[in-house]
Copies of this chain bind each other. A is one copy, B any other.
Amino acid sequence: MSVIYDRVALIGLGLIASSMFWAMKRAGLAGEVIGYARSAETRAAAREIRLCDRVCDSAAEAVEGADLVVLCVPVGVMGAVTQEIATALKPGATVSDVGSVKGAVIEAVAPHLPAGVHFVPAHPMAGTEHSGPRSGFAELFDGKYCLIVPIPGSDRDAVDRLERLWQGMGAKTDEMDADHHDLVCAVTSHAPHLIAYTMVGVADDLRRVTDSEIIKYSAAGFRDFTRIAASDPTMWRDVFLSNKEATLEILGRFTEELFALQRAIRTGDGELLFDYFTRTRDIRRGIIEARQDTDAPDFGRVKRG
């Protein structure tokens, strides 16, 4: 793989940015990677583990001379960060982001960018429940999708170049518009996260079942919810507030369906339940076949004898 951008600036140094750094290094995709994080503690941690070739103390300094600037901050502060860097951007540079919501980010970022700077929003659909500069690893994007969301008037060469970068970091890329992106993510990510948070909150709140019981017996299903409910609170607060409409739409649909199943339980309609549960199995099979998960019975957790 050869260098795609001579200089890349990562603004924000959490899970995604730190994984991007290691993935770019693995494949030699960037001549130099400059990093910036708002918190002095994060910058110190980054310097300690040699995350980025250079860590700057201001966002404006970090983007100077960069061919690609990637905003890796919570969706709620994308606009403010763009204002900080706007005048320091190199003419002809590409600005991208990794936000989980695209409509609100485009609205917040695009108006602040000077003419001659290309904006190519993107969203790598990969993550873990960990956050911070120490949580990244080069393999995070391997085989996962990164959605590229060009805006009207996006420069084709700038879009293609960013796609090559993501492919070089191991991801598969797809393009779609912002509205469709936000709906797809409400279904595959935002609503599931809110539901997982809710279920974990209910368990925590139940007086007649102790916390230690919930934890001890979690392998029976609950555990799968706690992983995604442990994700970064700031990031997720911003996601829900900025993808409000699509998330609420899906949650409305979810509640409708849940009520129908609750009713079937109450009335003893075993046939409805059986048919419903049979249908959901097929989706799982599709995911296994698309290699977006492992089929190992133990989920890859235990070494097999």
User: Which residues of A come within 8 Å of B, CB atoms?
Assistant: 26, 76, 100, 125-130, 135, 137-140, 142, 144-145, 147, 174, 180, 183-185, 187-206, 208-209, 211-231, 233-234, 236-238, 240-241, 244, 247-248, 250-251, 253-255, 257-258, 261-262, 265-266, 268, 270, 273-274, 276-281, 283-287, 290, 292-294, 297-302, 304-305
A289 to chain B, nearest CB (A): 8
By DSSP majority rule, is chain A's interface helix, strand, loop, or mixed?
helix
* Cβ B274 vs Cβ A234 within 8 A: yes
Q: How many copies of the shown chain assemble into the complex?
A: 2
**Could you give 17 example pairs across A and B, Cβ below 8 Å?**
A100-B220, A128-B299, A137-B304, A142-B302, A187-B214, A188-B203, A188-B213, A192-B225, A195-B258, A198-B258, A202-B250, A205-B253, A226-B293, A229-B283, A230-B285, A233-B273, A255-B255
* Cβ A229 vs Cβ B199 within 8 A: no
Known: A187-B214, A222-B192, A265-B247. A233 touches B281 (CB 8 A): yes
Q: Inside 8 A of A140's CB, which chain B residues have their CB?
A: 297-298
* Cβ B218 vs Cβ A224 within 8 A: no
Additional pairs, 4, CB under 8 Å, beyond known A294-B301, A300-B301: A200-B283, A229-B281, A230-B283, A233-B274
* Cβ A279 vs Cβ B204 within 8 A: yes
Known: A261-B197, A281-B233, A300-B301. A188 touches B204 (CB 8 A): no
